[in-house]
């Protein structure tokens, strides 16, 4: 059975972080919220299959899965599984041993595990339990990021309206070297920009970013498997870092950034409390000036300062910046319509017609749109902001429009004939009014579905009026039905013979 798309994405992330970035299985497991034993198995299977990072571009998700999980012959029935939580609880009792619990387990399951397997599997299960340990921050390993709760007011010099600026804070684990910047809000574009500017401020990149379970970075907050935003994950992949969200209700996971936030609030924001700022740029200039002072301020209980510790300890252990800066992109999920187009911001973009009905992923930048299917890019377009228009690549069209899968103009006309001849004529006119018949499929389906809402008789009457006034559009038919014009007699004068110049121009006869 093929694995879900999200599972294959996590396998690719394990390979990227474990093989490409050289992180330990423990770090990879923490970043992706996977059990360590699962991470080890993925890496072992990749080693046996001779798969390295980067994965060859020609391997899509299905081919990669066949390499890592080749089909195996069916084995015998699985052995009964003990209730490990009960075993763990019983072991806390005085004089209870694993051997005693194994004997009780075998008494109820004669075909169960042998004693050595029983002990090994219990130890594997036990390693997945939470443990509380003191955090030791290695040089160049972790950057802790967060938004403080405190904001800074910015006054509009024209109308006096006050806007509240949010402060992004990043603190390196080993040196406490700190970065701060003001943004208009905590939304995803500003969250991503804060990371990029922090990396460029440091001049290098850590291996791990630890963030809170905020909405901009984590799509779904979960104690064990938080889902990281796709844009955030893409940015992390470009810079070669692993994202590890802090666990919910685990303050130890983000103690470093909480301390960094407190320092920024006390030594930067508090010192700016009497100043009035009229722009975000003015506020950030003041923050940058105080950041220099903060990072060069001597430590109280040891020699040096944050900057010196960063230069001597952190910088040599961190990764270089990538050659190209990350370009912000939104990720969407869309389903390909029967006309082999997807809808993004009310504009329609074509994909290969073989993907009609399939679900695809869309990557949106300011200027381009890329479409992916199973981690493989299938096409790209220049982004258009013209609503209701189509961007169609001729290479995506079938060899014959009338043999486009099971949806053809003749089939739609035949379906419309069940309602009546005028409905069929209207459907035919809609498709003939488009540069390509497929671009009229959506309108035709919408017209036919109006019969369920208003009845076939009214739809046929409305179609007759729309044909008479040469208005071949879904909006026109819906307007006729909504206003009850289908119940009124057609004008006695013949329709205008003036050529129709646009599908939204209805003519004077429409209003009679």
**pLDDT attached to residue 473:** 86
**Domain membership flag for residue 131:** no
Token pair recorded at residue 503: 């599908």
Q: Which of 257, 284, 291 is nearest to 172 (CA)?
A: 257
Cα distance between residue 169 and residue 166, in whole Å: 10
Claim to verify: residue 345 and residue 474 sit in the same structural domain: no
Name the residue with higher pLDDT: 212 or 52: 52
Claim to verify: residue 199 and residue 271 sit in the same structural domain: yes
Residue 154, domain CATH: 3.30.420.10
**pLDDT attached to residue 3:** 57
DSSP state at residue 241? -
The per-residue pLDDT for range 413-429, each reduced to its tens digit, is 887 888 888 888 888 88
Claim to verify: residue 14 and residue 96 sit in the same structural domain: no
Token pair recorded at residue 62: 């299905």
**Domains in the chain, number:** 5
495 and 507 Cβ atoms separated by less than 8 Å = yes
| Position 397 confidence tier, pLDDT thresholds 50, 70, 90 | confident
**Domain membership flag for residue 251:** yes
Name the residue with higher pLDDT: 385 or 303: 385
**pLDDT attached to residue 360:** 92
The per-residue pLDDT for range 255-287, each reduced to its tens digit, is 656 777 888 888 888 888 889 999 999 999 999
The per-residue pLDDT for range 179-235, each reduced to its tens digit, is 999 999 988 889 999 999 999 999 999 999 888 766 554 554 444 444 567 888 889
Claim to verify: residue 152 and residue 249 sit in the same structural domain: yes
Cα distance between residue 434 and residue 443, in whole Å: 11
Claim to verify: residue 372 and residue 477 sit in the same structural domain: no
Proportion of the chain above pLDDT 70, given as a percent: 81
Claim to verify: residue 370 and residue 224 sit in the same structural domain: no
Q: What is the CA radius of gyration of the chain?
A: 31
| Position 68 confidence tier, pLDDT thresholds 50, 70, 90 | confident
Cα distance between residue 237 and residue 219, in whole Å: 17
| Position 72 confidence tier, pLDDT thresholds 50, 70, 90 | low
**Domain membership flag for residue 90:** yes
| Position 369 confidence tier, pLDDT thresholds 50, 70, 90 | very high
The per-residue pLDDT for range 114-142, each reduced to its tens digit, is 888 899 988 888 777 544 334 456 778 88
What pTM was estimated for this model as a whole?
0.54
| Position 404 confidence tier, pLDDT thresholds 50, 70, 90 | very low
145 and 168 Cβ atoms separated by less than 8 Å = yes
The per-residue pLDDT for range 19-35, each reduced to its tens digit, is 888 888 888 888 888 88
**pLDDT attached to residue 338:** 84
Claim to verify: residue 152 and residue 286 sit in the same structural domain: yes
| Position 405 confidence tier, pLDDT thresholds 50, 70, 90 | very low
Claim to verify: residue 147 and residue 283 sit in the same structural domain: yes
496 and 509 Cβ atoms separated by less than 8 Å = yes
3-state DSSP call for residue 342? Answer: strand
**Domain membership flag for residue 200:** yes
**pLDDT attached to residue 76:** 41
Claim to verify: residue 212 and residue 243 sit in the same structural domain: yes
Token pair recorded at residue 354: 């073989």
The end-to-end CA distance of the chain, in Å, is 62
**Domain membership flag for residue 156:** yes
Cα distance between residue 295 and residue 310, in whole Å: 9
**Domain membership flag for residue 136:** no
DSSP state at residue 469? T
Claim to verify: residue 231 and residue 279 sit in the same structural domain: yes
Q: Print the domain residue range for 270.
A: 142-317
**pLDDT attached to residue 199:** 94
Claim to verify: residue 187 and residue 255 sit in the same structural domain: yes
**Domain membership flag for residue 73:** no
**Domain membership flag for residue 52:** yes
DSSP state at residue 298? B
Mean per-residue pLDDT of the chain: 80
Claim to verify: residue 347 and residue 390 sit in the same structural domain: yes
112 and 82 Cβ atoms separated by less than 8 Å = yes
Sequence-distant (≥ 6) Cβ neighbours of residue 148 within 8 angstroms: 167, 169, 261, 264, 265, 269
């Amino acid at each position: 059975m093929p694995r879900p798309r999200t599972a294959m994405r996590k396998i690719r992330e394990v390979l990227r972080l474990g093989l490409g970035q050289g992180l330990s299985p423990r770090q990879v497991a923490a970043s992706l919220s996977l059990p360590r034993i699962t991470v080890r198995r993925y890496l072992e299977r990749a080693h046996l299959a001779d798969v390295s990072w980067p994965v060859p571009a020609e391997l899509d998700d299905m081919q990669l899965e066949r390499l890592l999980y080749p089909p195996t012959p069916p084995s015998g029935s699985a052995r009964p599984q003990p209730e490990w939580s009960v075993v763990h609880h019983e072991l806390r009792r005085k004089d209870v041993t694993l051997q005693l619990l194994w004997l009780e387990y075998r008494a109820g399951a004669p075909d169960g595990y042998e004693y050595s397997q029983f002990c090994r599997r219990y130890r594997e299960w036990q390693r997945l339990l939470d443990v509380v340990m003191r955090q030791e921050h290695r040089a160049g390993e972790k950057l802790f990021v967060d938004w403080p709760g405190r904001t800074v007011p910015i006054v509009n010099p024209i109308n006096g309206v006050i806007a509240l600026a949010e402060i992004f804070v990043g603190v390196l684990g080993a040196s406490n070297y700190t970065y701060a910047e003001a943004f208009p809000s905590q939304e995803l574009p500003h969250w991503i920009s804060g990371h990029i500017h922090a990396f460029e401020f440091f001049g290098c990149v850590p291996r791990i970013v630890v963030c809170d379970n905020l909405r901009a970075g984590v799509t779904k907050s979960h104690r064990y498997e938080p889902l990281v935003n796709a844009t955030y994950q893409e940015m992390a992949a470009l810079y070669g870092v692993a994202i590890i969200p802090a666990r919910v209700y685990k303050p130890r996971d983000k103690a470093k950034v909480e301390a960094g936030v407190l320092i920024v609030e006390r030594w930067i924001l508090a010192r700016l409390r009497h100043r009035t700022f009229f722009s975000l740029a003015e506020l950030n200039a003041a923050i940058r000036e105080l950041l220099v002072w903060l990072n060069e301020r001597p430590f109280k209980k040891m020699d040096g300062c944050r900057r010196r510790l960063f230069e001597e300890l952190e910088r040599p252990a961190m990764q270089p910046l990538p050659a190209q800066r990350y370009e912000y992109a939104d990720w969407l999920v869309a389903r390909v319509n029967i006309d082999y187009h997807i809808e993004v911001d009310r504009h329609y973009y074509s994909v290969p017609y073989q993907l009609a009905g399939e679900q695809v992923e869309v990557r949106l930048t300011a200027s381009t749109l890329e479409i992916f299917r199973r981690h493989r890019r299938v096409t790209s377009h220049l982004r258009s902001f013209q609503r209701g228009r189509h961007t169609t690549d001729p290479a995506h069209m079938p060899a014959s429009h009338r043999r486009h899968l099971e949806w053809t103009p003749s089939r739609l006309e035949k379906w419309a004939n069940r309602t009546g001849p005028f409905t069929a004529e209207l459907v035919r006119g809609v498709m003939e009014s488009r540069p390509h018949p497929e671009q009229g499929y959506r309108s035709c389906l919408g017209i036919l579905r109006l019969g369920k809402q208003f009845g076939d008789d009214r739809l046929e009457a409305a179609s007759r009026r729309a044909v008479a006034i040469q208005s071949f559009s879904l909006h026109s038919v819906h307007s006729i039905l909504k206003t009850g014009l289908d119940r009124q007699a057609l004008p006695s004068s013949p329709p205008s013979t003036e050529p129709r110049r646009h599908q939204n121009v209805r003519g004077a006869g429409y209003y009679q």
